[in-house]
Amino acid sequence: MPHKQPVLDLSPKVSDEVRKTTCYMCACRCGINVHMKKDPLGDLKVAYIEGNRDHPVNKGVLCAKGSAGIMQHNAPSRLRSPMKRVGERGSGEFEEISWDEAYTIAESWLRPIRETNPEKLAFFTGRDQSQSFTSLWAQSFGTPNYAAHGGFCSVNMAAAGIYTMGGAFWEFGQPDWDHTKLFMLFGVAEDHDSNPIKMGIGKIKARGARVIGVNPIRTGYNAVADDWVGITPGTDGLFILSMIHCLIQAGKIDLHYLAQYTDAAVLINGDEKSPEYGLKLRDTDGKEQVIDRITGKLAPFDRKGVKPDLAASHRAKGITHRPVFHQMAAMYLDNQYAPEAVAERCGISAQRIRALAAELARVAFEEAFELDHEWTDFRGEHHKTMTGRPVSFHAMRGISAHANGFQTCRALHTLQILLGTVEVPGGFRFKPPYPKPATAHPKPHCKVTAGASLDGPHLGFVHGPDDLALKDDGSPARIDKAFTWENPMSSHGLMHMVISNAYAGDPYKIDTLFMYMANMSWNSSMNTTGVTQMLTDKDESGEYVIPRIIYSDAYSSEMVAYADLILPDTTYLERHDCISLLDRPICEADAMADAIRWPVVEPDRNVKGFQSALCDLGARLGLPAFTNEDGTQKYADYADYIVNHERRPGVGPLAGWRTGENGLQNGRGDVNASQLDNYIANGGFFVEHIPEGANYYKPWNADYQNWAVKMGLYDSPQPYLFTLYSEPMRRFQLAAEGHGKRQPPDHLRAQIKDKMSPLPIWYETDQHGNEGYTITALTQRPMAMYHSWGSQNAWLRQLHGRNPMYLPSKLMRAHDLSDGDWAEITSPHGAITVPVMEMAALNENTIWTWNAIGKRKGAWALDENAPEATKGFLLNHLIHELLPPKGDGLRWANSDPITGQAAWFDLKVAVRKVDAPADSESQPSMPPMKSPVGKGPSELKWKVGK
């Protein structure tokens, strides 16, 4: 008999309908096609997710996280209804209630605060993507106590970039993947910007370009780098400044670029006796002054035809003013930055430092090229071509999350600028709405008035002591102490200090802590055990020290158990979101773009998008931004807000498909009631490309500046100089030296004077209390995860269900350890006992593990014996939000003293081999929590349609 072949359907029906929206599984915000199939009842359900090939961010590429979003949407840990606590905090005992009752409770807590003392509300949001909206809500409420997660993530990178050149890496810009020939990346975890970076690295490697990875850990992007530099953690700034030393010494810097487009030629007051010592010379209009090489006379930097002189000085009224470049040469040519002087601390040989600097110079100058793009600069000079310097850089949290991170990030930006590789072909390029210098951003506001809105935005960029958020008596105006003498330039706030400060009543007590999607009782908190105690501790009267906690999340995270009132959020496929030019857009270097999410499915639970809940709550409280003149609710929900809110006339959350005299138009325009429908029809995004010739040299390109005004990015052209010399930092130094009316407390004078150098420096982080703890311990997120919500995804759990501590070969041998052995890891703050594994491609004095894998028993609907809850662990138990006591009675934050960014990566530990715990569970093992959603099934599977 003939062999019977099986009948195979080689073209199965994938879906009944495709709905295009934006991914939420990391901060890339890729475009996705959500395939829908009908279930037996005829309802459309999510069946499959793939990348959208038309999308400007990912062009169809989708990572494991994005594909696994279907599991996130169906997760058993999803919250189902508003809840109020009925047991003790931390018990997990809740009662489901209606939304009306939830709003009534929230209103009863919040209305008295607003009517008497709005600062008693601390409103802080986690890794959401609607910060312009949540900021508006808090500002309208009237509290100064608002910020998002940037203060414990990457404010050093963002603030250093904006203060130095008007933008930074990640959402602010990207390498010129089409032209770069040498790409150097520092400290980038592989979950950050993963699809665009993977695509970019693939593109440049296909052309034969070289990739250099600088990271203590060789995983992810560093694993495919042509050259890996396993640097000692926290010394990146010293390494960068040593390369700058080599480049200046060899004359391998772009003098034309420095003179024309930076403040290198701007004159600085050199009289040590002057109250303006170290400040820039300005004319009566406040314009920075240079010497014009053509006339030899003073001129404002932006005068038509001016050719700034890097060498000339100016003397007037007995004071000599020298250009910034003089000070840079004097500082960085000092032998303290010579490779031989820094090699041992950096863990990189002097020969290799010199070779890397030489390679940067060789590619930047010997492989320079020209593009036939004509353009006109802001001084009116017409250029026939654009000079390309094909060296590009990228960096993120690895160099940012140290107590010297702000100056390190400034040093990296300075390195780029010296090579002339920013906003040129082949280099680093800004994404609209950047570049925007610090002076184009608001300053922080903190004036509180009972029953009224705050007097302006909470967050911003200070330019001197007068901009600090201080009360009349000099005490901090904010609960996190942002914008104070302790951390003057804290542009994103200090979210990691909120609970600790509120508990201590320092600088004052609060009444209600209101948080969104911030897992502050677990992996998003330093001092995890201590924070849970602060959340549950009671005062002498038996009341909680932090009286009320409102929390919103989509999932039953560890933080849920510590709240008094739960407002359940939707999943990202069930709500509207706005990836806005006012916030964190999806732009590319050649185009402005924004995007939406929309409910491709309706929730099957009693949940509501948090932003829509804020619209309801804001109206009930009578907040001006959320009510009409007659007192009625202004925005029915977040979708209504997205369409109808205008931040400035003609400028709203979305730039696409606005209305004008001749119909639909982009950028500026009136409200379009069908705007969301237009976005949905276009795949969930809008994009408009920058005209050719305007897409490079953006800060100085007249065509780009005019296009940006037309599109609503600016209200007027705003050309500016890159800031190698930070005058705001010098103003703080002057105050520390005794100048000015607003003076720092005496105990902070030395810190401000030493750390706030106007030119980038490197300094060792505070090692007080670390005696005997000599090994650096780090965490990083894996590419298949993004945050704590990722590892309860059934598909992704198969990749990362547990996490060992990785040790380099040298430490494994020194402690007689083998794979699978257990070690006790101790810090000045605590101890953990965990399994270890050997990793050869690791800095020899560094250990590390994956972040956010370990889970609290009972959270996330996981079984108590799940590997995340038994074998998984957190380094957070070893980290404290405060430095070890110095005996001076002061609370010194474990943060960068300039921005307040959490210094996660300064953790020092000791290692000791131990026997496995009796139950073979990682320690500490915290008591189980009661889950308000129960446990998920032992097997999670389903099939939609046939």
**pLDDT above 70 covers what percent of the chain?**
99
What is the tens place of the pLDDT at every residue in 360-382? 999 999 999 999 999 999 999 99
* Dihedral (CA of 277, 279, 281, 285) sign: negative
Q: How many CA atoms lie within 13 A of 107 on its CB side?
A: 17
The answer to whether 317 and 271 are in contact (CB under 8 A) is no
Q: Please enumerate in sequence order all residues whose Cβ is within 8 A of that of 410, keeping only pairs 6 or more positions apart, or say none.
A: 160, 163, 164, 726, 760
As a whole number of angstroms, the distance between CA 84 and CA 106 comes to 10
Q: Where are the alpha helices (DSSP H) in 367-474?
A: 397-400, 405-418
Reported as a single tens digit per residue, the pLDDT across 329-365 is 999 999 999 999 999 999 999 999 999 999 999 999 9
CA gap 283, 290 in Å, rounded: 10
Residue 411's pLDDT is 98
Residues 493-523 have pLDDT tens digits of 999 999 999 999 999 999 999 999 999 999 8
pLDDT mean over 746-763: 98
pLDDT of 760 reads 98
Percent of the chain with pLDDT over 90: 88
Sheet holding 391-395, edge to edge: 227-229, 210-214, 182-186, 391-395
pLDDT digits (tens, 9 = 90+) for 620-658: 999 999 999 999 999 999 999 999 999 999 999 999 999
Q: Are strands 94-96 and 83-85 parallel, antiparallel or unpaired?
A: antiparallel
- Report the C-alpha gap between 224 and 204 in whole angstroms: 12
Two structure tokens written together for 488? 């003057």
Q: What is the pLDDT of residues 113-136, one digit of tens each?
A: 999 999 999 999 987 678 899 999
Q: How confident is the model at residue 800 (pLDDT cuts 50, 70, 90)?
A: confident
Q: What is the arithmetic mean of pLDDT over 928-938?
A: 91
Place of tokens 């940037």: 150
CA angle 582/159/464 to nearest 5° reads 105
> pLDDT: is 8 or 703 the higher one?
703
Please write the tens of the pLDDT for every residue from 840-878.
999 999 999 998 899 999 999 998 899 999 999 999 999
Mean pLDDT, to the nearest integer, of 381-402? 95
> Has this prediction a pTM greater than 0.85?
yes
Nearest partner of 640 among 667, 615, 606, judged by Cα: 615
Q: Which residues pair with 538 in a beta bridge?
A: 544
Cα angle 761, 763, 768 (rounded to 5 degrees) comes to 160
Q: What angle do CA 656, 150, 652 make, to 5 degrees?
A: 20
CA distance 884 to 765: 13
Of 180-194, 230-244, 812-826, 865-879, the range with the lowest mean pLDDT is: 180-194
Answer positive or negative: Cα dihedral of 538, 542, 548, 554.
positive
Check: CB of residue 684 under 8 Å from CB of residue 20.
yes
Is residue 675 within 8 A of residue 658, CB to CB? The reply is yes
Instruction: Determine the average pLDDT of the residues in 930-936.
Output: 93
SS3 654: coil
What is the CB-side half-sphere exposure of residue 312 using CA atoms within 13 A?
17
- Give pLDDT, residue 35: 96
Q: Specify which residues 96 forms β-bridges with.
A: 83
Helix (H/G/I), strand (E/B), else coil: 575: coil
Cβ(581)–Cβ(608) below 8 Å = no
pLDDT band at 149 (very low <50, low <70, confident <90, very high): confident
Q: Which residues pair with 391 in a beta bridge?
A: 182
Token pair 């119909």: residue: 663
Q: Which residue has the tokens 């030296």?
A: 737
For 83, phi then psi, to 5°, come to -140, 150
User: What is d(CA 834, CA 870) in angstroms, rounded to the nearest whole number?
Assistant: 10
CA Rg value for the chain: 28
pLDDT at position 792: 66
Do the Cβ atoms of 23 and 63 come closer than 8 Å?
Answer: no
Phi first, then psi, for residue 370 (nearest 5°) are -125, 140
Sort strands 146-147 and 44-51 into parallel, antiparallel or unpaired: unpaired
The pLDDT value recorded for residue 2 is: 60
